[in-house]
Amino acid sequence: KNQVEQSPQSLIILEGKNCTLQCNYTVSPFSNLRWYKQDTGRGPVSLTIMTFSENTKSNGRYTATLDADTKQSSLHITASQLSDSASYICVVSAREYGNKLVFGAGTILRVKS
């Protein structure tokens, strides 16, 4: 079983709607948790990085939350746009492995007009 599990696997929403993507992890102890956006045919781009002491961080219409006790994170996208269509990848940094990054498989989001 992967140490970083994301759900749902894929999601289709209408433009303008909000959505929330989930990430559960078992990596412990962890250093930080990151969310990346990967457009088709491109490399991942960083959205947020949170340490264990932070429980929320925003980047424009993207807001990430972290509950280090339950080892869960979510990425909330507000007022979705067509350009939000992408794969969203949750990444956990494992402190005991020299801050090795463990990637989730991503949630594929498609925003329809």
Partner 1 sequence: DTAVSQTPKYLVTQMGNDKSIKCEQNLGHDTMYWYKQDSKKFLKIMFSYNNKELIINETVPNRFSPKSPDKAHLNLHINSLELGDSAVYFCASTDRVNSPLHFGNGTRLTVT
Contacts to partner 1 by CB under 8 A: 2, 31-32, 34, 41-46, 49, 51, 87, 89, 93, 98-101, 103-106
**Closest distance of CB 20 from partner 1, Å:** 20
Is the distance from CB of 106 to CB of 51 less than 8 angstroms?
no
Question: Least distance to partner 1 from the beta carbon of 25, Å?
Answer: 14
Q: Pick the closer one to partner 1 by CB: 43 or 113.
A: 43
Task: Name residue 50's amino acid.
Answer: M
Considering the complex, state which of residue 15 and residue 59 has its C-beta at the smaller distance from partner 1: 59
110-86-93 Cα angle (round to 5): 130
The C-alpha atoms of residue 31 and residue 94 are separated, in whole angstroms, by: 6
